[in-house]
Amino acid sequence: MEEQKLADILFGADPLKDPRLQSDSCFAATNHKQFGLFYARQLKRVEERLSQQFGACMALFDEGLGLSPAQVAKAFTCSAEYRQVREDITDLDMTSSARFEIGFLNFVLRTQEDQADFLTEFSDLYLRELAMDLG
Partner 1 sequence: MNSVGLGLGMDTPWGSPRGFQTSVGPALDHFLAKNGEGFEAFFFSFQKRNYGALRTQDYLEAFTRLHQQASEFAGLINLHHTMLNLGSTLPYNREQIIQVTNELAEKVPFGWINEDVGIWFLEGKSVPYPLPPVLTESSLRYCTRTIKQVMQELHTPLSIEFPGITDGASFQVGHLDLFEYFADLADGTQSLVTLDTGHLLGWEWMQGRFNDEMYRHLETFPYDQVVEIHMAGSESKNGAFIDRHHGLLLPEQFELLDFLVPRCRNLRIITYEDPKFDLHGNLIEIAQPSLKKLKENVQKWKNKSLLTFYSERIH
Q: Contact positions toward partner 1, by CB under 8 A?
A: 1-4, 6-7, 10-11, 25-31, 34-35, 37-38, 41-42, 44-45, 82-83, 85-92, 95-97, 100
- Give Cα separations from 26 to 3, 4, 8, 50, 77 (angstroms): 10, 12, 14, 32, 23
- The nearer residue to partner 1, 27 or 122, going by C-beta atoms, is 27
In the complex, the smallest distance separating the C-beta of residue 88 from partner 1, rounded to whole angstroms, is 5
State the minimum distance, in angstroms, from the CB of residue 93 to partner 1: 10
64 exposure class (CB count in 10 Å sphere: 0-12, 13-18, 19+): middle
Closest to partner 1 by CB, 41 or 63 = 41
| Cβ at position 23, least distance to partner 1 in Å | 14
CB of 85 to partner 1, least distance (A): 6
Query: Cβ-count burial of 15 within 10 angstroms (0-12 exposed, 13-18 middle, 19+ buried)?
Result: buried
Q: CB nearer to partner 1: give 82 or 104.
A: 82
Dist CA 9 CA 22 (whole Å):
12
